[in-house]
Structure 1
């Protein structure tokens, strides 16, 4: 995020590069930077003749270079934005000649999503030398919660740790998808709101009672009645709660418990960092640690591997999800 802010601030200050090559696995910042350039470099009057948006599936590198070499009309510069440029990955090296000597009156923006250029290639070196190469890396899951907090703080919102963790758990690390849901909340809720699990359930559609967090908590507490009740809800909604995902998340929980058992330093900050968990949830892990000795944790991990294989149709004779969920819980609790 800091690098993105620097790019934006440089543009605001008039330090505009002739080429912006935006690449990487995380599309969110690529889209945001391209959108900022599209909206802010030219005035509304200049855009009609001097702003062009191309799509990788519809053009060739030669088309892009030809467009970029045009002179602006009644403006200081033109802007050429190439979206979905990853469609041109096989011929992207042809951009080298233009990158070596770009038009100073053109701002060429290449949106190269889900891929990266080899930094050893000459085309990459020329792009970096005469323009700007930005790599948008995918955030790790344990970084996404902090990103959500920063985005919301910038919009004058706060979020409870559990609500934050629910978003990460259910939406994964796709920042564009998460941002879309955050924007929905910002439309509905006034600035200054503390976003709660209730807001998430009511406006995004996640149940605060029937979700993997509550199942994990029930398992940690050895609350069998609650765990089976949640599992029954999952079985009735297999598309919303696929068994493969449920098994993977519970498996991850017990792997974290195994790591916790192996730690000599039980300081909360050390534990949270070592096992990769939000400190807010550490009390749940403390409870589970007492309920599941290391030997039992190892047995559960082995059982979960077996359930995972069966959930993928191997040696299970196509058992229904409800039966596999019950088998999973039985093996955990017994």
Structure 2
């Protein structure tokens, strides 16, 4: 994210704000910026006396202001970090008084995760005037693949399209979880390595043959035998393959096929953009397009909506995962 890079570069250049209010639905960048400030604004020997880490559930705004108003000891500045600051949502407006009269030798960091403040509020305008307000927004799934490539490239790795798509398919847009899995791979694999599907299967715990990715391929190709084998595996291992997740991903797959049918411009670049997939996988969607007419795909999507409701326990108390999976495949193949 370019804005995150700019903030870090500004800190490196010595352009350090007195207040950083980091908020938003995506915790990954909030954590990364907080961690960077924690590890880089002060030198190691200055931190014992001049760096304070507080937690929103344990303190009040008055406690935070009290800490922020102190003077540094044998250093040019002190750092006060408030993690889980969203716990102070009810009283956060009390921070206005500090923003109006802040301590210029203090760097105050508020990590306000999973929530945002109304930017029209007086507090936000004050914070933005004297410090920095950063909003960390959730990334759309069709942007995650590019993000994975950029992260890996920055660390000296590359990744094959199929492996990239598998990560997005299985982990969605949870950047923290994806980052943790990539870190595991970097410990195991040498720098310069191109991460492939086999690396994902062997080191992140996804079954090579029995996963939603392979189920989608089997459905698209109308390979009934393979689809039923995968469904049976899912039914026998419900903890690793929750029915709600399976239904959601299969539903999403057929919605993309339906969108593909409706496209006038079937240029690969446009298809990849509209469907939010890697161009590498368009050929798989081409197969599904030939196997399922638009009218049939519409019926499948409608049927999957009903199964999704049942998978969430509405009107299906007597149906097991095995029965629901069987019903899903019957809906698709018949």
Q: Does 1:274 align with 2:271?
A: no
Q: What residue is the counterpart of 2:147 in the other structure?
A: 147
Q: Give deviations 1:82-127, integer Å, cap 9, x for gaps.
A: 1110000000000001112211100001100001111111111000
Offset of residue 179 of structure 1: 0.7
Offset of residue 138 of structure 1: 0.8
Determine helix, strand or coil for the equivalent of 2:145: helix
Distance 2:172 2:116 in 1: 22
Q: What residue is the counterpart of 1:173 in the other structure?
A: 173
Distance 1:146 1:253 in 2: 20
Q: Give deviations 1:296-322, integer Å, cap 9, x for gaps.
A: 111111221222222223333421111
Distance 1:272 1:316 in 2: 37
User: Which structure 1 residue ranges, 4+ long, deviate > 6 Å from structure 2?
Assistant: none
Q: Give deviations 1:122-158, integer Å, cap 9, x for gaps.
A: 1110000000000111101111111111111000011
Distance 2:21 2:246 in 1: 39
Distance 1:43 1:314 in 2: 57
Distance 2:99 2:92 in 1: 11
Q: What residue is the counterpart of 1:101 in the other structure?
A: 101
Q: What residue is the counterpart of 1:195 in the other structure?
A: 195
Normalization by structure 2: what TM-score?
A: 0.98
Q: What residue is the counterpart of 1:287 in the other structure?
A: 287
Q: What residue is the counterpart of 1:245 in the other structure?
A: 245
CA RMSD of the aligned region, Å? 1.0
Q: In the TM superposition, what are the counterparts of 1:210-225 in structure 2 within 5 Å?
A: 210-225=210-225
Q: Does 1:86 align with 2:95?
A: no
Determine helix, strand or coil for the equivalent of 2:58: coil
Determine helix, strand or coil for the equivalent of 2:28: helix
The gaps in structure 1 that reach 5 residues or longer are: none
Offset of residue 162 of structure 1: 1.3
Distance 1:266 1:45 in 2: 60
Determine helix, strand or coil for the equivalent of 2:9: helix
Q: What residue is the counterpart of 1:2 in the other structure?
A: 2
Distance 1:245 1:131 in 2: 41
Determine helix, strand or coil for the equivalent of 1:210: coil
Normalization by structure 1: what TM-score?
A: 0.98
Q: In the TM superposition, what are the counterparts of 1:246-325 in structure 2 within 5 Å?
A: 246-325=246-325
Q: Give deviations 1:182-225, integer Å, cap 9, x for gaps.
A: 11111111101111111111111011211111111111111111
